[in-house]
Amino acid sequence: MKWVTRADKAATAAACWKEQHPGLSNDVSRSPSGRTDFGVHHALLMLGPNPKPDDVDEIIGNNSWTTEECDGCGECPEAVCSIATVFDDDEDRRVLVCEKCIEKAMETRPGRKSW
């Protein structure tokens, strides 16, 4: 198990952006923020090694690069716990659960003794 925070994702955004957008120097496509892919990458690099997630969101134009959705409730909290990987023929996928859903699961566990 491993916790993944918005800060963790923000710190890897520049590298992930570059990996998913090859050929940045010849690029003319636009991100939701209106920047070219090269412009987004450059702006992310300028934030330094520990950027604020909200700054990354502003540069990219959405929060999809700094958030993860909880598989239990569908919300995008500050942190989720990656508890397993589901292996599928088409794609491997992590199972992500927020703290509220973990607490709810513990409260409703069969045979749970009250403290």
pLDDT at 49: 95
Mean pLDDT (whole number) for 94-98:
92
Q: What is the DSSP letter of 80?
A: E
C-alpha distances in Å from residue 90, one per residue of 15, 86, 87: 25, 11, 9
Mean pLDDT (whole number) for 45-51:
97
**What pTM, to 2 d.p., does this model score?**
0.80
Portion of the chain with pLDDT greater than 70, in percent: 90
In a 3-state reduction of DSSP, which class is residue 99? Answer: helix
Mean pLDDT (whole number) for 36-55:
94
Question: Does residue 115 register a pLDDT over 60?
Answer: no
Contact 60, 33 (CB under 8 A): yes
Domain boundaries, the chain: 2-60, 68-115
